[in-house]
Amino acid sequence: MFKKIHRELKKESCRKIGNGFLVMALICCLMFVSYQATSAVITSAKVGDRELPIYCVDTTEKKVALSFDAAWGAEDFPRIMDVLDKHKVKVTFFMTGGWVEDNPDCVKELVKRGHDLGNHSEHHYDMTTISQEEKDSELKTVHDKVKKLTGYEMYLFRPPYGAYDNDVIKTAYAMHYYPIQWSVDSLDWKNYGVDSIITTVCNHKALAPGAIILCHNGAKYTADALDTMLTNLEEQGYKIVPISKLIMKENFHMDATGKQIADNAEKQKTTEAVIH
């Protein structure tokens, strides 16, 4: 009798242990799936043998993104913020490490007002001319500064001078950044004047849904031109958004011009053509 009871207890114990292992295995599987879902990162955007940044986005929505490179100067920063507030517009600021150090209150104000913060490297070097170790450091140093100052996790990167090669783009993606260029250059850095900036942007041949506009917060005439430029864009029917609200974060590919296209876009267009 005691042997029978012992056998039954042993069976019950084994059954509980087996169930325990099953539960643990199920939990591990769920954790793995969850990790895969949350840690998926685009690691490449190749067209042939070339790695490309995002110049613009393929979209039917009439929206464009406005961006400012901030590498030096902040004298016009308050005026720029006021104009953006007037138009209820959010933008993207790409900042160097030096600009972050010199203007911590501006960085905090950008976060407070709901604008994007983007990485523009630590020293504004031509990233194609430095070592891989230096490339990594150029991105990481600014990232850490901004995170420590504001808690903000940047994930948009614009290479200084717009200079890039395959290694620069691969580095950005490897460090969980989307590399961003532009399709409409205001040429404000040439200091041609207020009218030149407005005309260059608002009559640009590449101004279209999905365009990314480049300005510089420290350029001489940018703050003076901004109000009229935004009004003109709005009168053309454009909604101005930050880059984070324009680009796709996954399931995309690039064409040879650097346009970001949804993976199902061609299939959808073909289907619509057949239906019609």
The residues near 251 (Cβ < 8 Å, ≥ 6 apart) are 262, 263, 264
Strands (E), the chain: 46-47, 50-51, 56-57, 63-70, 92-95, 116-119, 156-157, 178-179, 184-185, 212-216, 239-241, 252-254, 259-262
Closest CA to 141 of 101, 168, 200: 101
* DSSP, res 127: G
What is the distance between the alpha carbons of residues 98 and 106, in angstroms, rounded to a whole number?
13
d(Cα 105, Cα 219) in Å, to the nearest integer?
20
In angstroms, the CA 61 to CA 238 distance is 9
Residue numbers annotated as active site: 69, 216
Q: Please say whether the dihedral angle defined by the alpha carbons of residues 181, 68, 214 and 247, taken in this order, is positive or negative.
A: positive
